[in-house]
Amino acid sequence: MILTLAGGVGAARMLAGLMLVVPHDELTAIVNVGDDLELHGLRISPDLDTVTYTLAGAINPDTGWGLVDESWQARAMLEQYGGVSWFGLGDRDLGTHLYRTHRLGQGADLAQVTAEITRAWGLDVRLIPVTCDRLRTMVTLAEDDAVHPESPDAPALPAGSEISFQEYFVQRHHGVPVSAVRFDGAEDTTPTPGVLEAIASARTIVVAPSNPLVSIAPLMAVPGVADAVAARREQVVAVSPIVAGAALKGPADRLMLELGHEPSVVGVARRYREFASTLIIDEADAALATAVEAEGMRCVVAPTIMSSPDRSAALARVVLEVDR
């Protein structure tokens, strides 16, 4: 079994690539839930949904999140009421949140609901939320943040304010410097049943090219997960989400810098070397391979930019060959 540690978009593309080269029922992903939120009474799991929709071929290709063929009637009404509309809830996407919220209200846990949702999309890949307990990634602002013209519903906040990940990422367009990241509630969570077993038994563990600080780190913050992954270090292959000093998507590079890490494949290696034995870096960073190896990791240079299914599949093959 090939196990992927997954955030959102980058992980979804990595998994889509793996699906092209590995039988689907041999694929499992442990997915971040630190980005989850409650909004309008609904429970929203953005990373689980991004992975699900992508693997189902139903992701909105224009945005990289949400569903294709989406409409926005509910949001238009919310805007008419002057309600909170910064988090983009499409009408089809709302169906997912309504279903999830209803089932959780009936006493199902997030793992069960996720299995139901992925089954309804016809997916054979197993997606497991890292925990069914409450875990919330919180971000502390390094500077005062005034009201932005592009996000008028975000109140001005002083430096030192702590906000949820989605308030940082979506509402404030990850446009404000950050001084700390914290995984609220992590110490009280337990891994979803099956998570530690999957880590212990996987043939290869892939750390997807997701944000090390806000996608992979919350997975590791669930008690028992980091130790279990570290115990399989020889089988752990990470793909750098940083290419030529920049994140392909999102604020990973800036977050690395703001939180005292080098925003490069070397900085990624320093974050991952305790639990991963191999780092795959992009050809653009080939000159840094020696520096990565100096951090104690094997380094594989390959094209890592998954701009097409073919490229995702090629990267998946590289990942799987590392361990052979």
Show the DSSP H helices in 169-304 as ranges: 195-201, 217-220, 225-230, 252-258, 265-272, 289-294
94 makes contact with its own copies (CB under 8 A):
yes
Region for 41 from its dihedrals, namely left if φ exceeds 0, alpha if ψ lies in -120 to 50, beta otherwise: left
Question: Least distance (Å) from its own copies to the CB of residue 171?
Answer: 14
Choice between 105 and 296, CB closer to its own copies? 105
**214, 246, 259, 64 alpha-carbon torsion, rounded to 10°:** -20
Choosing from 23, 41, 107, 152, the residue that interacts with its own copies (CB under 8 A) is 41
CA distance readout (Å), 85 to 39, 81, 253: 10, 10, 28
Choosing from 20, 98, 146, 294, the residue that interacts with its own copies (CB under 8 A) is 98
Choice between 106 and 324, CB closer to its own copies? 106
Question: Least distance (Å) from its own copies to the CB of residue 292?
Answer: 43
Choosing from 37, 68, 74, 257, the residue that interacts with its own copies (CB under 8 A) is 74
DSSP H or E segment with residue 75: helix 73-80
Choosing from 21, 101, 133, 289, the residue that interacts with its own copies (CB under 8 A) is 101
63 makes contact with its own copies (CB under 8 A):
no
152 makes contact with its own copies (CB under 8 A):
no
156 makes contact with its own copies (CB under 8 A):
no
Neighbours of 166 (CB within 10 A): 20
CA distance readout (Å), 115 to 34, 289, 321: 19, 39, 29
Q: How many residues does the chain have?
A: 324
76 makes contact with its own copies (CB under 8 A):
yes
39 makes contact with its own copies (CB under 8 A):
yes
Give the integer Cα–Cα distance in Å for 71 and 215: 28
Binding flags for its own copies, 102-131, as an x/- string (CB under 8 A): xx-x----------xx--x-----------
Choice between 40 and 173, CB closer to its own copies? 40
87 makes contact with its own copies (CB under 8 A):
no
Q: Residue 162 in contact with residue 140, Cβ under 8 Å?
A: yes
Q: Which stretch binds its own copies (CB under 8 A): 14-22, 69-77, 152-160, 208-216?
A: 69-77
Residues 6+ apart with CB under 8 A from 119: none
Choosing from 1, 37, 75, 249, the residue that interacts with its own copies (CB under 8 A) is 75
Choosing from 1, 21, 37, 42, the residue that interacts with its own copies (CB under 8 A) is 42
Give the integer Cα–Cα distance in Å for 113 and 135: 17
Applying CB under 8 A, the residues found at the interface with its own copies are 39-43, 70-71, 73-78, 80-84, 89-96, 98-99, 101-103, 105, 116-117, 120
